[in-house]
Structure 1
Amino acid sequence: MNHRFVILFLFLLSLFSCKKSGSGIIETFSPELISSAPTNNETDVSIYTKEIVLIFNENITLKRGYEITLNGVTLSDVNPGVKNDLRIILPELQEGTIYTLIIPAYTIKGPTGAFIPAEIKLIFTTYKSPARTFSVEAQKVMDFLKQIYGIGTISGTMANINWNTDEADWVYAQTGKYPALNCFDFIHHVFSPSNWIDYSNISAVENWWQSNGLVAAMWHWNVPANSGISDQYAFYYGSKSDQTLFDVSKISDENSEEYRLMIKDIDIISGYLNILKSKGIPVIWRPLHEAAGAWFWWGAKGAAPFKSLWRLMFERMTNYHRLDNLIWVWTSEGNDPDWYPGDEYVDIVGRDLYQKTHIHDSQLTEFNKVKAIVLGRKMIALTECGGIPDPDLMFQKGDTWLWFMPWYGSYTRDDSLNGADYWRTVMNNSHVITRDQMPDLK
């Protein structure tokens, strides 16, 4: 190319890239920072924040050999976006910590080649959750969950009705791999112990834990049904004979029959959970699920009595029965911030989703609804689902569920929902954690 032509081209480019001052002198303007997330001096930033995003008024690039630091430690994963953003991948953040990001002067430049001549400093403080004391094993589980959150998703199955690993065994038979988590259910506690159900026999749970599986448990809480027959129970709220009008609002009346029954049942379940504690088994504990849906009696009278019941259960199990092996999971309906019991009573937040169409798509919209309720301060799990979202789409779109768990029976086994072929695809995905990949958390 002709040398004179190159010089002329560069001169014309500079004319289009620069502006004239009032004196007629051509000035070159450096990029300007418009916004950031987190913002400067922001407090209560979630420790699950994965990146800092800086937005400028024009496209930017970085000089070679840049040195961007966070609390004095050089960050290497820094990515100028396709337009005018700079994304800085963060290391694992610690709670209640002040962080200072420093971008030295003359590190960032615009399309004209003009550098930002001043240092950029961004300070933020991470949220510190209320103090929680866990058993050694439960703390190890919490540490593991925090470590993998946003990086991988834990595979899970639901027991076939209550106290078994039937669905997990079926998945293993189809794929050669066990899911990492199995959820049990205290649904039949009113009949235990009997010759067909005895929750004091923990062999199925203990075997799962000894095989490095994560133990989860829920409780379809049966109370007397409307039929008046002494051995009939229900957990759905309604007027039919196989449902119940049990009044959760009586949680505020210590002299009521409802209050006495709730305390009695909480104490019974606490006894079973204490057996697991005695064996060093931590439990990802998800009681009173889907409350805002109002189809269960514990959610039928609104948010206030539900939260009172949740907090009473938490206090009685944690402080009275000293069950420090429980990791508490609250299940959101996605539009229910008034139902949230509070940070001090919740460790993880869940969402139950049964998609009617596009059942394996990303569920980012629902993920973000829950994230907004807890301001990103809690890990978020897909605690029940119909179709398992495609793990690749999860991590492309950003709905990085801590775990996924399809319901038992047809939800797990039928090809129209999941089925053997899809399970094989899921269990071999690099984002999915199976039981054979689990560390020993004992």
Structure 2
Amino acid sequence: MSHYKNRIAGACCHLLALLFVFVTCSDGGDEKIPELEKPKLVSSVPADGSENVSTGEQTILLTFDQNIVLASPHEIRLNGNEITKAAAAFKELTVTAALEKATAYTLVIPAGKVKGPTGVSADEITVRFTTRGSANSTINKTLVSPDPSPQAQRVYDFLVESYGEKIISGVMANVAWNTHEAEWVHTHTGKYPALNCFDYVHLYASPANWINYEDIRVAEEWWGNNGLIAAGWHWNVPSGANSNGHGFYAVGKNGGDGETAFDIRQAVIDGTDENSVIKADLEKIAGNLLLLKEKNIPVIWRPLHEASGKWFWWGAGDAASYRTLWILMFETFKTKGLNNLIWVWTSQTDDYDWYPGDDYVDIIGCDIYNKGLTAVSGIYDSLTDEFPDKLITLSEFGNIAGLSDQWDAGIKWSWTMPWYDYNRTVDPSSAAFNEQTHIHADIQYWEKALENDYVITRDQMPSLK
């Protein structure tokens, strides 16, 4: 019997010892039962304290250290206003809201609304950020051309003042040296676009009875009616690839039509045959642009466009050769006294290696075709982030989201310009000219665009003479 009593006594002592440990731990002893971890915010986009955040509809991304769920109602607020679009998935919480420019924002997620997988809730979370100011607040106000003409400076000042507040409407000449697209828009809407862009594509043949860039009456008339003048240059060089022996497409980029094997890498080396060709062409184009300068007509000048796409000969070599060619053109024009130019470089995005440099570029353009709103917004945000001190313009487009949708999404170009529809506007006296369809921007597009008071037409332009 005593043996069993001893065993029972021992068991009781063991139980008392376990009870002592339990009481000691619960009373603040050395060993504590671990607490379950609260979800913690690891990062946010935009980060807390960010500045120059993009405007329009934006998604704020918050990443936590563990999977989360969002309580309902979540009661998340942005500047005191309840958010309607918020969702949690795995470790991420997304909050979508429309952001206004030049605004300080505070996002607040109340305590208890974000829960981890064990049901433990996060503390209150606050993220503060500021959207970019008025679009023109950081823009360089000085033109790159030394001692710019008064007219060029006034045009540029107007572009800067309008940026972010207005969009200047524009059109492209049908092939070369006319205002046919502008007349087509006017015929069907009663309004002229504010900007007309010409193309010196046939410079190699001018002057001729079918093309003569030395006859500048069409440009004088447009400028005389307060219209803005832009110009580009599909630079035709000797090719032998087609009947006229000239082309601007790189070999393999247009099925043989208008292609040239002209080598930009050789063209920028002094003394080569190719170098002689481009220097002669630069002399000729400078002479034509000087005709406009003599009439005090400024030109928004957009040469050597879409280089990084490599479909034109000036981009078919390498970025270094392209930059050298751009600077050669700039310096040649400077020695000629061409101070009436506002220089536009066209980006294909993610092509900074091709950028000639801030000393040679006033405005950044981009050409967009067949893209939806999300893609257009991404391109715009990319360029405004990369070039915060430059005007950003939609220098060509076709079949993209409507201008109103872009504006509402915070996409505010300096100007926009659909490419021409050859068959629609080549002959203003034709039956085709009376039709309202268009391969890039039909009259329905124009009617919707011109309903907005932020779209500038030619009749709304001030005299910048």
TM-score by length of 1: 0.72
Tell whether 2:178 aligns with 1:174: no
Distance 2:154 2:103 in 1: 31
1:274-313 pair list within 5 angstroms? 274-313=290-329
Distance 2:326 2:142 in 1: 22
Aligned partner of 1:287: which letter? P
Distance 2:260 2:107 in 1: 58
Kept in 1: contact 2:343–2:360 (CA 8 A): yes
Kept in 1: contact 2:364–2:392 (CA 8 A): yes
1:12-411 pair list within 5 angstroms? 34-37=48-51, 83=108, 85=128, 87=130, 90=133, 132-227=146-241, 231-238=244-251, 240=256, 242-318=258-334, 320-355=335-370, 358=372, 363-374=376-387, 376-387=388-399, 389-409=401-421
Kept in 2: contact 1:60–1:85 (CA 8 A): no
Match of 1:437 in 2: 460
Aligned partner of 1:440: which letter? S
Distance 1:82 1:241 in 2: 57
Secondary structure class of the residue paired with 1:151: coil
Distance 1:381 1:235 in 2: 24
Distance 2:280 2:361 in 1: 23
Tell whether 2:445 aligns with 1:422: yes
Secondary structure class of the residue paired with 2:446: helix
Following TM superposition, by how much is the alpha carbon of 1:86 offset from its aligned partner in structure 2, in angstroms?
6.4
TM-score by length of 2: 0.68
State the Cα deviation string for residues 83-138 of structure 1 (Å, max 9, x = none).
Answer: 45465885687779xxxxxxxxxxxxxxxxxxxxxxxxxxxxx9988684311000
Distance 1:94 1:343 in 2: 17
Following TM superposition, by how much is the alpha carbon of 1:431 offset from its aligned partner in structure 2, in angstroms?
1.9
Following TM superposition, by how much is the alpha carbon of 1:417 offset from its aligned partner in structure 2, in angstroms?
4.2
Q: In the superposition, relative to structure 1, how do residues 410 and 270 fare at CA in structure 2: closer, same or farther (>3 Å)?
A: closer
Kept in 2: contact 1:362–1:389 (CA 8 A): no
Q: In the superposition, relative to structure 1, how do residues 300 and 81 fare at CA in structure 2: closer, same or farther (>3 Å)?
A: same
Secondary structure class of the residue paired with 1:338: helix
Following TM superposition, by how much is the alpha carbon of 1:225 offset from its aligned partner in structure 2, in angstroms?
1.4
Following TM superposition, by how much is the alpha carbon of 1:80 offset from its aligned partner in structure 2, in angstroms?
5.1
Q: In the superposition, relative to structure 1, how do residues 271 and 417 fare at CA in structure 2: closer, same or farther (>3 Å)?
A: closer
Kept in 1: contact 2:55–2:410 (CA 8 A): no
Match of 2:12 in 1: none
Following TM superposition, by how much is the alpha carbon of 1:210 offset from its aligned partner in structure 2, in angstroms?
0.5
Distance 2:232 2:258 in 1: 21
Secondary structure class of the residue paired with 1:298: helix
State the Cα deviation string for residues 302-335 of structure 1 (Å, max 9, x = none).
Answer: 10100000000011112x1110000000000112
State the Cα deviation string for residues 255-309 of structure 1 (Å, max 9, x = none).
Answer: 1011011011011000010000000100000000110111100000010100000
Aligned partner of 1:407: which letter? W
State the Cα deviation string for residues 142-180 of structure 1 (Å, max 9, x = none).
Answer: 100000111111111000000000000000011110000
Distance 1:348 1:196 in 2: 33
Q: In angstroms, what is the RMSD of aligned CA positions?
A: 3.3
Q: Which moved more, 1:338-347 or 1:395-404?
A: 395-404
Distance 1:139 1:427 in 2: 27
Distance 1:391 1:398 in 2: 11
Distance 1:404 1:95 in 2: 21
Following TM superposition, by how much is the alpha carbon of 1:36 offset from its aligned partner in structure 2, in angstroms?
3.7
Aligned partner of 2:394: which letter? L
Following TM superposition, by how much is the alpha carbon of 1:370 offset from its aligned partner in structure 2, in angstroms?
2.1
State the Cα deviation string for residues 364-400 of structure 1 (Å, max 9, x = none).
Answer: 10112222332x1211100000035423322222221
Q: In the superposition, relative to structure 1, how do residues 301 and 137 fare at CA in structure 2: closer, same or farther (>3 Å)?
A: same
Q: Which runs of 5+ in 2 are unaligned?
A: 1-46, 57-75, 81-101, 109-126, 425-435
Kept in 2: contact 1:348–1:380 (CA 8 A): yes
Q: Which runs of 5+ in 1 are unaligned?
A: 1-32, 40-47, 51-57, 63-76, 97-125
Following TM superposition, by how much is the alpha carbon of 1:35 offset from its aligned partner in structure 2, in angstroms?
1.2
Distance 2:181 2:459 in 1: 17
Q: In the superposition, relative to structure 1, how do residues 273 and 417 fare at CA in structure 2: closer, same or farther (>3 Å)?
A: closer
What is the total number of aligned residue pairs between the two structures?
Answer: 350
Secondary structure class of the residue paired with 1:363: helix
Secondary structure class of the residue paired with 2:231: strand
Secondary structure class of the residue paired with 1:328: strand
Tell which structure's C-alpha radius of gyration is larger.
2
Following TM superposition, by how much is the alpha carbon of 1:248 offset from its aligned partner in structure 2, in angstroms?
0.6
Secondary structure class of the residue paired with 2:226: coil
